[in-house]
Structure 1
Amino acid sequence: MNDAMRITSKRFARAASSVPAARAFARGVLGEAGGRGLDDVLLCVSELATNAVRHGVPVGGAFLLKVGADARCVRVECHDAGRRLPRVRHPDHDEQGGRGLLLVDAVASRWGVGERPFGKFVWFELDTAEPGGPPARVAARLT
């Protein structure tokens, strides 16, 4: 995250209830800064939090969600203790899961994975068309 970006973080337990809690946290942090693209941000938060709970957090552990925004973009990072690096999957039509990063890849302006001494973090950014405006991809679809 860049130095000018105001960043807020919170830890969430390894529990299914942490996914909606992480969305609510992001919504609270971003408020109007998410603009009309807030739904895209919350979708991506859901996917990263779900992956952390299912694959990255050991029993009794937690994940850390960092949320920030500036005039250029919204950025979210999801930190967990998992060592396995995530990858975009292309599941069969009848599979119920495996589309999380596929959705993030389709919605976010950028995303990636970083390593930490004890795990990894997955991040995404959504560009804003103007301060407080929708992400650039959303703005292009609206015109």
Structure 2
Amino acid sequence: MPQPPTRARPTGHPGYSETLPREPESAATARRLLRAACAVWGLDAWAEDGALIVSELVANAVQHARRESIRVVIDRTEAGRVRVGVVDFSKTRPVRKTPGPEDEGGRVLALVDGLAETWGTDPLPWGKRVWAELRGKEEG
């Protein structure tokens, strides 16, 4: 009996994700994940800005989330775009502030805003995803 033709099925865009404890030390793991993704995708030039962005997003989630874990997601949404996201269980959306000289709060999103092409928040049934996108030219 002849076999049916084999078809490739779409798998979507490549991505990396990891659930981490809601601890400041998780920023180091998130940076390693981001750097590994950029290396696999041949986007090493994006690794430093991406590592700084994911560190800041993790720090924000560690400070404001409600449960013991967070999820870091690194997606290559298209050839010239990488989305870095942190999912947590708080529904409170971050607000970008212009901090004063003595104010530590609000600097996270100001820094992300300066490094990323764009950033935002997606509400989820159980919390939110704060994300930032890097866009540029792929390396050779």
- Which band: TM-score by shorter chain? 0.7 to 0.9
Cα offsets for 1:55-113 (capped at 9, x unmatched):
0242xx21111112242111111110011100111111122343000011111011110
- Does the 8 A contact of 2:89 with 2:127 survive in 1? yes
Q: Which residue number corresponds to residue 28 of structure 2?
A: 20
Q: List 4+ stretches of structure 1 deviating above 6 A.
A: none
TM normalised by structure 2 equals 0.83
Deviation at 1:21, TM superposition (A): 1.3
Q: Which residue number corresponds to residue 107 of structure 2?
A: 99
Higher alpha-carbon Rg = 2
Q: Residue type of the partner of 1:54?
A: Q
5+ long unaligned stretches in structure 1: 134-143
- Does the 8 A contact of 2:38 with 2:46 survive in 1? no
Query: What is the aligned-residue RMSD (CA, Å)?
Result: 1.7
Deviation at 1:7, TM superposition (A): 1.0
TM normalised by structure 1 equals 0.82
Structure with a larger share of its residues in helix:
1
Match for 2:133 among 119, 125, 130? 125
Q: Distance in 1 between matches of 2:132 and 2:123?
A: 15
Q: Which residue number corresponds to residue 14 of structure 2?
A: 6
- Does the 8 A contact of 2:16 with 2:33 survive in 1? no
Partner secondary structure for residue 42 of structure 2: helix
Structure 1 segment 1-143 matched on structure 2, within 5 A:
4-31=12-39, 33-58=42-67, 61-69=68-76, 70-129=78-137, 131-132=138-139
- Does the 8 A contact of 1:74 with 1:128 survive in 2? no
The count of aligned residue pairs is: 128
Q: Distance in 1 between matches of 2:61 and 2:43?
A: 23
Q: Residue type of the partner of 1:123?
A: W
5+ long unaligned stretches in structure 2: 1-10
Q: Which residue number corresponds to residue 141 of structure 1?
A: none
- Does the 8 A contact of 1:71 with 1:132 survive in 2? no
- Does the 8 A contact of 2:35 with 2:44 survive in 1? no
Q: Distance in 2 between matches of 1:30 and 1:37?
A: 7
